[in-house]
């Protein structure tokens, strides 16, 4: 057998870049629609992510007929999803005696590499194997990785496969349970998952807090003070829940106040910490969905512009030359920011609380210009560059002033700050600097009061979760991993459980969580899934047997299924599904208007009184429909939002839209008739 070497990467473009970095005279050949890069007897092949999928045998595909309990202990089979890639791996295996796994270095990447290795070893059992670990696809990083090859971490791959097994069992059992119980099968099935359900519960319960919130009135007193030509405002130290008490205090305030306390300090504000995945997605959600931000970050990584974007680390390792990276940006669009960093006598980087050894925090690995990237790519790249430079920048310097004034026994306080030196804030402009002004005061000084106000206010409900805040909370609760949290949110959107940002749950989301809380509450709590994540770490460390973890999960689900009241579950879910389709009351017969589909799958709003009542309203045929809690004041019909690839579109009241369309169409018809009449009125030229 000829001696050969095969390098396996996770994606095709990574294979192309790595082959060009490591070898000269690289020849590209195309087999079965897949590129293979070859230099002499060395081959570089890029996969398409996982080439093997875990699944139940085909006889378990009938959701309605297969008993749920049978899924728990069914044999899980491995199916090759990329048959052409598997064929090429088998063919190349016969030409090599060594294979290097160069997939992304994390759980999923290790499993993807091990999957490919399994196919290779079927054709060539004696092949030698090693591992290339890198965090950036740059010449320096790749050459260093291939000069220090290590062993494949089979325990790490096993932990990823264990999670796949557990997620498959949980997802299949619970999704079928809810879908069959609710009558939602086919494309409209109700998906439930180990991480998805607790995350959805957080969103639903926050919405319930908002719905059930009863505002309480309170009163605040403000006074405007004048020293020389300076006027500044202070608030009374007390917030009043009783109006009479507030009015009594308000009347006591005289035209002067004495300064009881005044302090002025200069404080330094440290720059933000380096980006790990959670912090990056939280910040990137200012501009786009976390799922899109991660997709762009991955493409920037594979193009060699940034380091690996899936990391928990918030501490730069000593091996990274931070100063050299900053110098790269002196001749770029970030010239001013880079020079600020390099002007410091000593460069220092901020540190977060989490330090891991697998990958560094996210940082730029090469310089790009605006012309090199698309608009959204530039937004993400600029965010990462600015964050990196900010972590190396000088502190922001603030002047803080605080004090206390008293007028006839009523006290007013202030606490304001002003930027003296923006420091890192000049580099990272995404945080708003809130400044206030109060002149310097002296203890015992008498200040004039020029105005006073008693303002009635109301307590406000808690805010809805934004995608960024929710990802942060998921990390805190141990829901999902750095690699999956954005995918979970995307699944909630795609299954139409939530819409908008901040996130609002649909009626079906309420029904699903309500039903699960009544029948299987443990599924909706973060403790179980957080425990499983800890166990995945122990499997990766070789401390825990994977079969034991899977068995515990199965026993847990068996207990859940044995305690569920299927009739009650079905009732609750069907009512929730029905609510999610009710738009309002029919203006002709008073029965419910619901979203329906015609025989040719065209959707519309129709009356449940059909066939006696034939009232209908048209709907757009593209995009996902979400019923909002807002109702049309004129027709009492729920306003609608449509989600498309470009974002959300406020459709509003479908009845109002229909009436406007009919009126405009009538005007157009009238214009056509008038034009036709005008033609008839014009005298015709006689022809000979």
CA pair distance 259, 349, nearest whole angstrom: 42
Question: Cα torsion at 484, 204, 510, 643 (round to 10°)?
Answer: -60
Q: Is the pLDDT of residue 260 over 60?
A: yes
Question: Is the pLDDT score of 103 beyond 90?
Answer: yes
Quick one: which of 5, 3, 1, 31 has its CA closest to 18? 5
Q: What angle do CA 440, 444, 450 make, to 5 degrees?
A: 65
CB 86 within 8 A of CB 116: no
Mean pLDDT computed over every residue of the chain:
92
Residue ranges covered by each domain of the chain: 5-47+82-152, 161-212+467-575, 217-270+396-458, 277-391, 583-663
Q: Is 388 exposed, middle or buried (0-12, 13-18, 19+ CB in 10 A)?
A: buried
Q: Is it true that 5-47+82-152 and 277-391 share their CATH fold?
A: no
Assign 688 a pLDDT band (cuts: 50, 70, 90). Answer: very low
Q: Give the pLDDT confidence score for residue 30 in this predicted structure.
A: 93
Whole-number CA gyration radius for the chain: 32
Four-way CATH pick for 217-270+396-458: 2.70.20.10, 1.20.140.10, 3.40.50.300, 3.40.50.920: 2.70.20.10
Is the pLDDT assigned to residue 1 strictly greater than 50?
Answer: no
Out of 370-374, 439-443, 512-516, least confident range: 512-516
Q: Which span out of 454-458, 573-577, 650-654 was modeled with the highest average pLDDT?
A: 454-458
How many Å apart are CA 303 and CA 284, to the nearest integer?
Answer: 19
Q: 678 CB contacts (<8 Å, ≥6 apart)?
A: none
Cα–Cα nearest to 341, from 289, 303, 391, 393: 393
Q: What percentage of the chain has pLDDT greater than the value 90? A: 72
648 flagged as catalytic = no
**In this structure, what token pair is assigned to residue 407?**
């007028």
The per-residue pLDDT for 268 is 97
> For residues 86 and 84, what is the distance between their CA atoms, to the nearest angstrom?
5
Residue 346's alpha-carbon distances to 420, 503, 628, 684, in angstroms, are 21, 44, 55, 92
What integer is the mean pLDDT of 220-247? 96
Beta bridge partners of 7: 44, 100
Which pLDDT score, from 0 to 100, does residue 308 have?
A: 96
What pLDDT digit, counting tens, does each position of 15-65 carry?
999 999 999 999 999 989 999 999 999 999 999 999 999 999 989 888 878
The domain defined by 277-391 folds into Topoisomerase I; domain 4 (1.10.290)
- DSSP character at residue 76: P
Which residues make Cβ contacts (< 8 Å) with residue 523, sequence separation at least 6? 174, 192, 197, 198, 516, 560
**Is the pLDDT assigned to residue 351 strictly greater than 50?**
yes
| Token pair of 113 as six digits | 């590499």
Q: Tell me how far apart the alpha carbons of residues 121 and 115 are, in angstroms, rounded to a whole number.
A: 10
Catalytic annotation, pick one of 37, 134, 308, 493:
308
Backbone angles phi, psi at 235, to 5 degrees: -110, 145
The answer to whether the beta carbons of residues 349 and 274 sit under 8 Å apart is: yes
Q: How confident is the model at residue 680, as a pLDDT?
A: 64
Q: Distance (Å, rounded) from C-alpha 674 to C-alpha 683?
A: 16
Structure tokens at 80: 């090759």
pLDDT at 686 over 60: no
In CATH, the architecture of 5-47+82-152 is: 3-Layer(aba) Sandwich (3.40)
Q: Is the pLDDT of residue 14 over 70?
A: yes
151 three-state secondary structure: coil
User: How does pLDDT run across 265-302, given as a tens digit for each residue?
Assistant: 999 999 999 999 999 999 999 999 999 999 999 999 99
* Range name among 57-61, 264-268, 334-338, 561-565 with the lowest pLDDT average: 561-565
**First-to-last C-alpha distance (Å) of the chain:** 97
> What class, spelled out in words, does domain 161-212+467-575 have in CATH?
mainly alpha
């Amino acid at each position: 057998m000829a001696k050969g070497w095969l390098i396996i990467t996770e994606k095709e473009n990574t294979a192309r870049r790595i082959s060009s970095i490591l070898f000269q005279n690289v020849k590209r050949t195309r087999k079965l629609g897949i590129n293979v890069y070859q230099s002499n007897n060395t081959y570089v092949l890029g996969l398409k992510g996982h080439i093997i999928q875990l699944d139940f045998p085909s006889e378990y595909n009938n959701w309605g007929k297969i008993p749920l309990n049978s899924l728990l202990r069914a044999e899980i089979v491995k199916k090759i999803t990329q048959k052409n890639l598997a064929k090429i791996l088998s063919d190349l295996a016969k030409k090599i005696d060594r294979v290097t796994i160069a997939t992304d270095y994390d759980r999923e990447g290790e499993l993807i590499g091990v999957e490919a290795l399994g196919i290779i070893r079927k054709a060539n059992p004696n092949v030698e194997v090693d591992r290339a670990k890198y965090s950036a696809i740059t010449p320096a990083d790749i050459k260093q990785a291939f000069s220090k090859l290590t062993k494949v971490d089979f325990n790490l791959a096993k932990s990823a496969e264990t999670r796949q097994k557990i997620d498959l069992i949980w997802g299949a059992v619970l999704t079928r349970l809810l879908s069959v119980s609710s009558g939602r099968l086919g494309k409209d099935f109700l998906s439930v998952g180990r991480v998805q359900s607790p995350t959805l519960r957080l969103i639903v319960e926050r919405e319930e807090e908002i719905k059930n919130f009863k505002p309480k009135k309170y009163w605040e007193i403000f006074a405007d003070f004048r020293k020389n030509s300076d006027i500044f405002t202070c608030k009374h130290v007390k917030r009043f829940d009783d109006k009479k008490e507030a009015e009594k205090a308000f009347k006591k305030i005289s035209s002067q106040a004495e300064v009881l306390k005044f302090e002025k300090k200069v404080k330094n504000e440290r720059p933000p910490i380096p980006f790990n995945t959670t912090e990056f997605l939280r910040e990137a959600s200012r501009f786009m969905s976390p799922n899109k931000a991660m997709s762009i970050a991955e493409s920037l990584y594979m193009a060699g512009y940034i380091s690996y974007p899936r990391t928990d680390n918030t501490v730069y390792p000593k091996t990274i030359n931070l100063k050299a990276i900053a110098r790269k940006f002196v001749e770029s669009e970030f010239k001013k920011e880079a020079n600020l960093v390099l002007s410091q006598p000593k460069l220092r980087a901020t540190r977060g609380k989490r330090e891991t050894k697998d990958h560094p925090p996210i940082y730029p690995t090469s310089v790009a210009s605006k012309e090199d990237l698309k608009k959204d790519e530039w937004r993400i790249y600029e965010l990462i560059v600015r964050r990196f430079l900010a972590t190396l920048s000088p502190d922001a310097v603030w002047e803080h002033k605080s004090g206390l004034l008293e007028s006839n026994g009523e006290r007013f306080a202030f606490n304001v700050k002003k930027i003296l030196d923006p420091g890192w804030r000049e580099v990272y402009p995404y945080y708003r600097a809130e400044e206030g002004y109060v002149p310097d005061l002296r203890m015992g000084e008498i200040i004039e009061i020029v105005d006073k106000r008693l303002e009635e206010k109301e307590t406000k409900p808690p805010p809805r979760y934004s995608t960024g805040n929710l990802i942060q909370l998921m990390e805190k609760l141990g829901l999902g991993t750095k690699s999956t949290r954005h995918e979970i949110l995307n699944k909630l959107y795609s299954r139409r459980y939530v819409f908008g940002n901040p996130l609002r749950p649909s009626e079906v989301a309420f029904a699903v969580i309500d039903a699960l809380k009544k029948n299987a509450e443990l599924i909706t709590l973060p403790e179980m899934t957080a425990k499983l994540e800890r166990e995945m770490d122990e499997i990766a460390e070789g401390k825990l047997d994977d079969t034991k973890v899977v068995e515990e999960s199965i026993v847990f689900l068996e207990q859940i299924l044995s305690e569920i009241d299927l009739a009650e579950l079905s009732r609750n879910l069907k009512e929730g599904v029905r609510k999610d389709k009710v738009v309002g009351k029919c203006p002709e017969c008073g029965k419910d208007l619901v979203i329906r589909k015609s025989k040719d799958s065209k959707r519309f709003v129709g009356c449940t009184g059909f066939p006696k009542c034939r009232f209908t309203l048209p709907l757009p045929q593209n995009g996902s429909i979400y019923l909002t809690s807002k109702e049309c004041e004129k027709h009492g019909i729920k306003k609608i939002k449509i989600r498309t690839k470009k974002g959300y579109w406020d459709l509003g009241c479908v009845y109002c839209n229909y009436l406007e369309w009919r009126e405009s169409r009538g005007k157009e018809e009238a214009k056509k008739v008038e034009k036709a009449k005008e033609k008839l009125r014009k005298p015709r030229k006689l022809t000979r």
